[in-house]
Amino acid sequence: MKVLQGECPALKVHVIEAGGKAKEGWQPVEIGKSIIFNMKDLDDYRTKNWDSRIFDTLVLIAAVEYCDKACKRSAWGWMRKFELAMPVIDLARWQDPEVVAALISALKFLTGDAWNISFYQRQLAPEEDVGRQSRLEFGDTTRIVTPFSDGLDSRAVSALLSAGGRPDRLIRIRVGSKKDDRPRRGSRKLPFLNIPFKIKFGGDGFKESSARSRGFKFAFMSATAAYLIGTHDIVMPESGQGALGPSLVQTSHGYEDYRNHPRFLTKMERLFAALFDYQVAYRLPRLWKTKGETLREFAALPIEPKEWIETRSCWQQNRNSSVDHKWRHCGICAACMLRRLSFHAAGVDEPKENYIWETLSVPEFAQGAAKGFNKITGAMEQYAVAGSLHLDHLADLSSSPAHRKRMSRHAWQLSEELDVSHADAEGELFGLLERHRIEWMAFMKDLGPRSFVAQWLA
C-alpha cells in the first residue's frame, strides 16, 4: 500500500468465510486461514453461557488486530482510515445502532483512527459448534477476572489479590504467553489458558508495531470471560504510571495511549452492555500507586524472588533482544526504564544480566550494553531517549505551574469516570505524580550526573 505525503493511510478489510470472495478492492481475511482458531483453546471458553455472540466477538477482536497491524502509520501523521466488513451469526444484534456506536467510539478513542465497520449474515455454521458440549459451569458471582501475562504488574496484582482472599476466586485470562501456570481447583485447572485464535499475515508479516488494539483485545477478552462464568468484576493490573502516564505526557507526534485508562475502560463497559445486555465493571486497584509501590508489596509476600525477577516488561521484539542467544529486556525502552525505576524505588535487587543495557550510569550510550551485543542502532538510542524523557516529563507534572490546569482537567475527567469528587481525584492524581517525581529523582541521583541518561535530560 503506497501512501503519498499528506495522505491518510487507509485499508479496507473484508473478513470472509471459508471459500468466500472479498469485495473488489478489499483485503480478504479468511476465517480459517488468516484468522485461525485453536479448537482446544476455544473449548477452554465453553461454559453454560456460551452463545453465538461469543464467536462473533472473537472474530471481531481478531479482525481489529489484523487491521491495526496490517496498515502502517505514516511518518507525517498518526491517523489511519479503516473500513471493515465481517460476517456474524447474530446479525440483528450487531447491527443495533447502540452496539455500532459504542464499538466505533471505543476503537476511535483507543487507536486514534477512523473506523467504519459493517456486518453481514454468516452463511456457514462455525465448526466449533459442531458436536461440542458445554463443559464448564460456574455459579459463584464473587469471582474476579483479571488479564494475566508475564508482566510485573500482572503477576504482582494477581499475587496480591490471591493473598488477600481465596486464591480460587481469581480467574486469570492468559494474554501474554503460552506458559501453562494456571492454579488448579482440586484436580482441574481453571479455564482461559490462551487467547483461542491467532492472526496470520502474508508476505513480510505485520507492518505496524504501535499495537493500540492490544487494549481492545485484553479488555474485550476479559469481559467475555466474566460473562461466561457469570461474574461482573474485572481487575486491570496496571499501576498508575502505566495507566495514566501515557495519556498525561504530551508528545510532539502520535496520539495519547489510553489502553489502560479509565476513560477507555468505561467505553468498553458500555460496548459490552449494549452487545450482551450484561454489565461488567473494570477496576484499577493500583491506579493511585506507583509501580515501585506495587512491587514493594509484591516482594513482601512469602514467594520466591524469581516471581518478580523473571517477569517480562520489554517492548522490543525478540530478534533484537538477545545476548549469547538468550533473551533479555533491552533495558532502555519506556517500559524497561519504568521497570528499572520501580525496582530501585522498591529497594529490590535485580541482576544486571536481565538487560541488554546492563549499565545506565556510564557516560556513553554504547558503553552500557552487554559485552558481545553488536546490534546497537540509532533506533535503539531513540527508544532510550524517548523512554527517559517520558519518565522525566511525568516527574515534572506535579511541580510545574505550567501543567497545573491541564492536570486539574485530567482529574476532572477521572472523577467523572470513577464517580468520585473532583477534589478527591485531583488529590490522588497529584499525590501519584509527586511520588513518581521523588522516585525518579532518587533513581537519577544514583545514576549520577555523568550517566548518558542524565546528559540527555540536561
One-letter amino acid identity for 42?
Answer: L
CA distances from 225 to 143, 182, 233, 265, 340 (A): 11, 15, 10, 16, 33
Is 16's pLDDT higher than 90?
A: yes
Q: Give which of 169, 261, 270 is closest to 215, Cα–Cα.
A: 261
Residue identified by cell 461488567 is 280
**pLDDT confidence of residue 85:** 98
**pLDDT confidence of residue 24:** 95
| Contact predicate 286/157, CB 8 Å | yes
Is 64's pLDDT higher than 90?
A: yes
Mean pLDDT for 174-195 is 56
Q: Give which of 425, 420, 393 is closest to 409, Cα–Cα.
A: 425
Sign of CA dihedral 60, 65, 68, 70: negative
**pLDDT confidence of residue 193:** 61
Number of CB atoms found within 10 A of residue 77's CB: 16
CA angle 96, 98, 103 (to 5 degrees): 100
CA 423 to CA 175: how far, in whole Å? 36
pLDDT tens-digit readout, 73-131: 998 889 999 999 999 999 999 999 999 999 999 999 999 999 999 999 998 766 544 33
> What's the DSSP call for residue 8?
P
For residue 95 the three cell numbers come to 447491527
For residue 130 the three cell numbers come to 459442531
- Report the range of poorest mean pLDDT among 67-81, 133-147, 182-196, 234-248: 182-196
Is 334's pLDDT higher than 70?
A: yes
Q: Which residues of 191-226 are buried (b: 16+ CB within 10 A; e: fewer)?
A: bbbbbbbebeeeeeebebebebbebbbbbbbbbbbb
Q: What percent of the chain has pLDDT over 70?
A: 88
Q: Which CATH class name applies to 144-197+214-283? A: alpha beta
Average pLDDT, the chain: 88
Mean pLDDT for 18-22 is 92
One-letter amino acid identity for 186?
Answer: G
**pLDDT confidence of residue 314:** 87
Residue identified by cell 502516564 is 245
- What is the location of CATH 3.40.50.620 in the chain? 144-197+214-283
**pLDDT confidence of residue 190:** 56
Burial bucket for residue 347 (CB in 10 Å: 0-12, 13-18, 19+) = exposed
Is 183's pLDDT higher than 50?
A: no
pLDDT tens-digit readout, 338-377: 999 999 999 999 999 999 999 999 999 999 999 988 888 8
pLDDT tens-digit readout, 280-291: 999 999 999 999
Mean pLDDT for 396-422 is 93
Q: Which residue has the higher pLDDT, 45 or 156?
A: 156
Number of CB atoms found within 10 A of residue 163's CB: 14
Rg (Cα) of the chain, in Å, rounded? Answer: 22
pTM listed for this prediction: 0.91
Is 61's pLDDT higher than 90?
A: yes
**pLDDT confidence of residue 13:** 97
116: β partners = 83
Tell which phi-psi region holds residue 186, choosing left (phi > 0), alpha (psi between -120 and 50) or beta.
left
Distant-in-sequence, close-in-space partners of 288: CB < 8 Å, separation ≥ 6:
240, 428, 429, 431, 432
Q: Give which of 124, 127, 129, 158 is closest to 144, Cα–Cα.
A: 158
Is 187's pLDDT higher than 60?
A: no
**pLDDT confidence of residue 379:** 86
